[in-house]
Amino acid sequence: MNMKKTMLNSLVVSAFALTATAAMAEVKEGTVLSAANIDSLYEDTFEGHKIKDLLTEKMEWRIRENGLEMPLVHSKKIEMDAKWIERSKSNIGVAKLNEQTRQVEGWQGGMPFPNIDEKDPKAAEKIVWNWYYGNPRGDVMNVPNVSYVMIDGDSGIERSQNWKFVRYTMKGRMTGEQTEGDGGELSRTLFFATAPRDIKGLGTYTIRHDSDKMEDVWAYIRAVRRTRRLSGGAWMDPIGGTDQLQDDIEIFNANPSWYEGYKLIGKRHILIGAHGKNSAWKVGAATQEEEYPVMDLTKPPYWNFSKDNYEPREVYVIEAKTPDVHPYSKKIIYVDTQYPRVHMGEAYDKKGEFWKMFQFHSYPGTGDDGYRDIRTTAGVTIDFKRNHATVFFPDTATWSTNTQGLDMDDVNLAALRKGAR
């Protein structure tokens, strides 16, 4: 009798398992996740992860309520440059986080903390330092043509601008001398508008120090045709005419010690654009739909990257608490666990209410010298209070990493003045 009962129970359990397996199907690559099918796919899996688990709360809300669609592709391995990997390994046991100064000591280039222990109370802060120091963009990030597109969520594209961005690494370099200059500078950055004519020259030149010292920032003032040095708090200031702060460039753009602290919320897989289409901006196209092929310009809110690639990637989820004078109360950032890349972020106002969302897509590139780097294909800052967004697309055809013939003396205040003419 007991044997019959045991066999019956086994059959019931097996039948239940088969039914559950059949109900939880594996979603095919190429499926477009949307408001129309999210409920039917919610418990299904993609690469073994349930669809519902691959979506952050805000991304799911955007699919259900804000028109976002997500074409699914299988994940691919990111191949990092061998020099960057070796330099990161050389920091093991050498690079230290000074808990008094909150600065990193002994860093040699690459990621200062390649082995993260999630039980370490400073794990979140070390992950952010990995991003700040180890972001694998190469020694020179030269993007001469970037399209900034301002979008109203009700009416669509308002206007577009062209900007130039150059960041020259001064310390922790992978090629040539490891340090250029006197060792006090971490990087130099030029960022200015090139078109249309009414904003041409508007921009900044920034020296980032390898310390907790505030950045030195100069801005070009068109009205008087002169440059002016900005206050030490310029890293929190808005970028004129956009929805971004200086601190929002690549989602997190501050010395980690300027934030009050960090909390590691956890580790999970989410859908992001780690192999985005590197032709997200078709320069000179006849129509806006052709010019910006990864955006859905057929319906509100017009800023969604609904035609790009989304793949599962494992990320650290980190809460970053801002200083009191910052416009935000906190940021939530999603940092890749394999290499230091912030794929997504959320910003909250002083009341703790959701305010902005940041979404950056990227792809692996190759520098002029063969160096393997990571490049942004498309990025968006969405201000949900204003129902407005700033989208930007680098011209990947003219982007160069470790640009031959460009040196530290080409990235200075004189270059900002020259760019304004």
What's the pLDDT tens digit per position in 247-265? 999 999 999 999 999 999 9
Q: Does residue 278 have a pLDDT over 70?
A: yes
**Of 31, 102, 53, 27, which Cα lies nearest the Cα of 256?**
102
149 contacts 241 by C-beta, under 8 angstroms: no
Is residue 366 within 8 A of residue 372, CB to CB? The reply is: yes
Parent domain of 198: 132-419
Q: Please list, residue by residue across 213-239, b when 16 or more beta carbons sit within 10 angstroms of its beta carbon and e when fewer do.
A: ebbbbbbbeeeeeebeebeeebbbbeb
CATH number for the domain that contains residue 138: 2.50.20.10
Domain assignment present for 89 = no
Q: Do the domain assignments include residue 384? A: yes
Q: Is residue 153 part of a domain?
A: yes
For position 176, what pLDDT does the model report? 86
Q: Answer yes or no: is pLDDT of 276 > 80.
A: yes
2: DSSP letter: H
| pLDDT single digits (tens) 377-412 | 999 999 999 999 999 999 999 999 999 999 999 999
Provide the residue type at 242 as one letter.
Answer: T
Q: Which two tokens stand for residue 130?
A: 């990995």
In a domain, 243, yes or no: yes
pLDDT at 309 over 50: yes
Distances (CA, A) of 241 to 201, 216, 269, 291, 419: 14, 22, 34, 21, 19
* Average per-residue pLDDT for the chain: 92
The continuous run of DSSP H or E covering 288 comes out as helix 288-291
pLDDT-derived band at 34 (thresholds 50, 70, 90) equals very high
Q: 13 in a domain, yes or no?
A: no
For residue 160, is it within any domain?
Answer: yes
Q: 163 forms bridges with which residues in the sheet?
A: 146, 193
> Is this model's pTM higher than 0.95 or not?
no
Owner of token pair 């700033």: 390
Q: Report the share of the chain in percent with pLDDT over 90.
A: 84
Quick one: tokens of 225? Answer: 């045709």
Would 119 be classed as within a structural domain? no
Q: Is residue 300 part of a domain?
A: yes
Q: How many domains does the chain have?
A: 1
